[in-house]
Structure 1
Amino acid sequence: MRKIIHIDMDAFYASVEQRDNPKLRGKPVVVGGRPEKRGAVAAASYEARRFGIHSAMPSRTAIQKCPHLIFVTPRFDVYRGVSEQVRAIFLQYTDLVEPLALDEAYLDVTENKQGKSSATLIAQEIKRAIAQKTHLTASAGISINKFLAKIASGMNKPDGLTLIRPEQAEAFVTELPIENFYGVGGATAAKMHRLGIRTGADLKQWSEAALVEAFGKTGRFYYRIARGEDDRPVNPNRIRKSIGVETSFFEDLGDRPAILAALETLSQQLKARLDEKHTSGRTLTLKVKYADYQQITRSRTVTEPLADREGILGLAIELLTLTEAGEKKVRLLGLSITNLEQEGDRAQPTACPQETYIQLTLNFGVVD
């Protein structure tokens, strides 16, 4: 039986800014682009979250919710530096560390460098070390697998610590609202609600075959987590193959200007993710889900890496012209970049002798 810890820094980007600038402490702060530049929220302080502000929200919406909101330009080099300090603390306990982003990671401490038998005590020590080294707080979740540890870390934020014991796992999942399941996004949760699935207990009533029929291959994952099962190992050598962002709209977008504005926000969010990962890529994919749930993707690969917002947005708009967005209402938009490379890696593409190529796919399934 594994002992897994999930560590999640609390409101990471915003907390770093409040730490470094005392004038921001106790005030509603967001890290991201300003409203007049059609920016988006990359992170929100807990003071800002009380107004209903969250990451990926358009900045113009955030300022409407909180007129005295303070906007701070992201400093990804600083965030990366703090992230490296935190990772060094993790490595004092185990080499099995799987980062999910700059601000969170899984740790497998079943066997650890300190020879400690209690994962809870290790999590407490890590939280104290992070506070002493960075003057920031982190929340920890401890359980027998990644799924449960991830959920546990978000239960008592900020500065929380939650343990889900082996004997509690199945009962815990049974009572969990489906929208709180890690791996179930907003659109999937809405579909599950339409199918009568509102809690883990409801999900558990479905057979694996029925879930696969309704949700594709992800249905197998839903079948297992409904029983508190997750056999995915902590993988310290996981290679990221893509970086993407997407958003579902409360109301379907029916006019081209609104769709373009949403695409501009997504481009900025994607640029922020690339900066966070210190990478760029050559293939951009646009995902569009129409109001009738028909989903399509449009992709293009270019010779030079996409590393700036203008380049991403320009190519995204070109791909948008290959869709029926605007003629048909849109319920979801997404952008992702593949063929990733680290900064300084200027190797030429091997599978694309011409300057660009276009890949068109059409999928009539319901996929999130």
Structure 2
Amino acid sequence: MVRCIFHVDLDAFFVSVEQLHDPSLKGRPVVVGGHPDSRGVVSAASYEARRYGVHSAMPLVQAKRLCPQAVFVPVSFPKYVEASRRFMALVGTMASVVEPLGLDEAFLDVSDVVPDFAAARAHALELKRRVRDELGLIASVGVATCKIVAKVASDFDKPDGLVVVQPGEEASFLAPLDVQKLPGVGKKTADGLAEIGVHTIGQLAALPQEVLQRRLGRYGLLLLSLARGIDDSPVEPRGEAKSVSRETTFARDTHDIAHLDSTLQAICVEVAHDLRENRKRARTVTLKLRYEDFQTVTRQSTLNVDTVDPQVLHDAAASLLRTLMAGERRRIRLIGVRASRLSGPERQLDMFSQDTAKMQNLERAIAQLHDRFGPKSIQTLREREKKAEKPPRTT
């Protein structure tokens, strides 16, 4: 299936934690930040306080003027950090990969956990229930095929929201929203877009790419993709990079399957080389295609065991390629492969078997040849047979 990404955001996190420790605050306008007569600013405000116009980063003095009946409490980071630790531990039990964002939100990749988006909705409801019952907090969840749409969706129906954007509906979901709802579009960028008549995400998505590139440079092209609901960035844990990827853009768009496959083979050799350089093995292979109309799609496959074998990577990616190209008339502009869910260099299954030792010795020998003579210095029999066949090009 297509990727399934959750964005989980705890509603009014600081305030909610304070209410857990002092239930008398529930249902009342609460402002976290300190004494209202101090020179500090609002760190968080309950939804009851927000109705009076109170918001984060507002001077506390101004918040008191807008909502004099509010309860003002000091910031207590140790409590928030502990609540965040429990939250991240919980979501970690419900996804194969979790990418924390600050203390109170995270991206989850559940592509390997749920079979379809109907199951994804049920899984999101279960996550929300567990957050409420086990942590005493409220979470809003956005579900989509990519991170950017999931994040916008989680904010769409706060508090306690759940918005599922079905595959293929990303652009239509985003289109009517104010352009500043798109992450990365701040007030300055929005003002610049307003000068050319762009007020909604849909209007941004409809702009010719040369217009955005002229006004915003390469960043404009990124915004154009995001506005169209195109975002193939992976969900990655903090710290060490958790994926290795390579891609190439063709000099001419092509529909030649043999050409695509041979390019894929070379890319997988490079990815395997990078994995060896980083002393990593991969469990998940993701294929990326960009069509001639600039639509970008990704599909992923989970392997039975971790690998650094370029042929295993290629077999998985080639299977995804055949599926995507079946009945597809559009030519391909770009092709790429990402290896993710990385582990250390040791095999986790059959560590002491003779066959495993032989395979590791073979992989080391191949790596040395590649390092000395280049990635095309040694080929599999399958590669040689494919070259001998020389199928006609259809580009």
TM-score by length of structure 2 reads 0.58
CA separation in 2, counterparts of 1:95 and 1:164? 20
Would the aligned equivalents of 1:4 and 1:119 in 2 still touch at CA under 8 Å? no
Q: CA deviation at 1:84?
A: 1.1
Would the aligned equivalents of 1:32 and 1:74 in 2 still touch at CA under 8 Å? yes
Tell me what 1:10 maps to. Answer: 11
Would the aligned equivalents of 1:2 and 1:110 in 2 still touch at CA under 8 Å? yes
CA separation in 2, counterparts of 1:152 and 1:100? 16
Corresponding position: 1:30 with 2:28? no
CA separation in 1, counterparts of 2:240 and 2:55? 28
Q: Give the SS at the match of 2:175.
A: helix
Would the aligned equivalents of 2:171 and 2:202 in 1 still touch at CA under 8 Å? no
Paired letter, 1:48: A
Tell me what 2:223 maps to. Answer: 222
Q: Give the SS at the match of 1:14.
A: helix
Q: Across the two proteins, how many residue pairs are aligned to each other?
A: 238
**Equivalent residues in 2 for 1:111-260, closer than 5 Å:** 111-112=112-113, 117=116, 118-238=119-239
CA separation in 2, counterparts of 1:64 and 1:216? 43
CA separation in 1, counterparts of 2:148 and 2:33? 29
Corresponding position: 1:19 with 2:15? no
Paired letter, 2:187: G
Would the aligned equivalents of 1:142 and 1:164 in 2 still touch at CA under 8 Å? yes
CA separation in 2, counterparts of 1:231 and 1:127? 26
Paired letter, 1:158: P
**Equivalent residues in 2 for 1:103-118, closer than 5 Å:** 103-112=104-113, 117=116, 118=119
CA separation in 2, counterparts of 1:39 and 1:19? 24
CA separation in 1, counterparts of 2:170 and 2:96? 26
CA offsets per residue over residues 263-317 of structure 1, 9 Å max, x none? xxxxxxxxxxxxxxxxxxxxxxxxxxxxxxxxxxxxxxxxxxxxxxxxxxxxxxx
Q: Give the SS at the match of 1:30.
A: strand
Would the aligned equivalents of 2:36 and 2:72 in 1 still touch at CA under 8 Å? no
CA offsets per residue over residues 70-107 of structure 1, 9 Å max, x none? 21111111111111111111111224111111110000
Corresponding position: 1:58 with 2:53? no
Q: Give the SS at the match of 1:41.
A: coil
Extract unaligned runs of 5+ from structure 2. Answer: 242-395
CA separation in 2, counterparts of 1:52 and 1:238? 37
- Structure with higher helix content: 2
CA separation in 2, counterparts of 1:239 and 1:50? 42
CA offsets per residue over residues 145-166 of structure 1, 9 Å max, x none? 0011001111111111110111
Would the aligned equivalents of 2:182 and 2:227 in 1 still touch at CA under 8 Å? no
CA offsets per residue over residues 34-76 of structure 1, 9 Å max, x none? 3432111111101001111111111122111111222111111
Q: Give the SS at the match of 1:167.
A: coil
CA separation in 2, counterparts of 1:164 and 1:172? 7
Percent of matched pairs sharing the same residue:
42
CA separation in 2, counterparts of 1:200 and 1:136? 31
Q: Give the SS at the match of 2:89.
A: helix
Paired letter, 1:209: E
Tell me what 1:77 maps to. Answer: 78
**Equivalent residues in 2 for 1:344-355, closer than 5 Å:** none
- Structure with higher strand content: 1
TM-score by length of structure 1 reads 0.62
Q: CA deviation at 1:239?
A: 6.7
CA separation in 1, counterparts of 2:132 and 2:206? 43
Paired letter, 1:196: G
Q: CA deviation at 1:19?
A: 2.1
* Residue 239 to residue 72, structure 1, CA distance change in 2 (3 Å): farther
Paired letter, 2:131: I
